[in-house]
Structure 1
């Protein structure tokens, strides 16, 4: 009697492992590596690649590239004075490009980008028509 009980005690955990392995064998395969996202970048920003910009608030900046494409830069944190600034300085990389690793100077404060993506043109204000 004890011999059969011992065999059963060893067989139950193995049966459970087989059942679990069977469930994973029929699961959907993991998708292949997805295509990497293309980084948004304004080429030659230091040579006139930026046509226009508009501050939405102290954390968001809309930038128009020379190809009429608009980009949205979200700051790492609040960039004091960005919403009211008349001038800002763009810090480009050594190749002169502005991307998500870039930053801007506002009133002597350097504000780093957290995110930099392509976006549509901003809506025109009724007072600027």
Structure 2
């Protein structure tokens, strides 16, 4: 019996440690994305974007790689989790191009635009 419980205990411990590591990096999810939960968004180059959720909070969304259509996209689509959240398992669609999300963290928002 103990031999069976030990591997299960180690697996549970590893899962808890992995979850704590994700939280230590500040990873989170954006709620209500599937039900109009996005107020605003701004591209941050080709590999990231800032998203403002319905609660007024800004998030920085890092993509797994370059998303060439992101910078000039007029609209975005979101592939949310089954719970309707945007997290590291989600994707965005910029002008029809699917771009996989790598991480979502809270942010102070995009930097102010430079005056020209």
* TM bucket normalised to smaller: 0.7 to 0.9
In 2: Cα distance, 1:115 partner to 1:97 partner: 13
In 2: Cα distance, 1:34 partner to 1:92 partner: 22
User: Aligned-pair distance for 1:98?
Assistant: 0.8
Aligned residues: 95
- Are residue 44 (structure 1) and residue 32 (structure 2) matched? yes
User: Aligned-pair distance for 1:126?
Assistant: 4.5
- Are residue 57 (structure 1) and residue 45 (structure 2) matched? yes
TM-score (norm 2): 0.73
- Are residue 120 (structure 1) and residue 108 (structure 2) matched? yes
In 1: Cα distance, 2:19 partner to 2:88 partner: 19
TM-score (norm 1): 0.66
The higher-RCO structure (CA 8 Å, 6+ apart) is 2
Unaligned runs of 5+ in 1: 1-32
**RMSD of aligned C-alpha atoms?**
2.0
In 2: Cα distance, 1:121 partner to 1:105 partner: 21
Contact kept in structure 1, 2:64 and 2:102, CA below 8 Å: yes
1:2-41 maps to which residues of 2 (within 5 A)? Answer: 36=20, 37=23, 39-41=27-29
Show the counterpart of 2:3: none
- Are residue 74 (structure 1) and residue 66 (structure 2) matched? no
User: Aligned-pair distance for 1:99?
Assistant: 1.1
| Runs of 4+, deviation exceeding 2 Å | none
SS of match in other structure, 1:83: coil
**Structure with max Cα Rg:** 1
In 1: Cα distance, 2:19 partner to 2:70 partner: 35
User: Aligned-pair distance for 1:122?
Assistant: 1.7
User: Aligned-pair distance for 1:124?
Assistant: 2.8
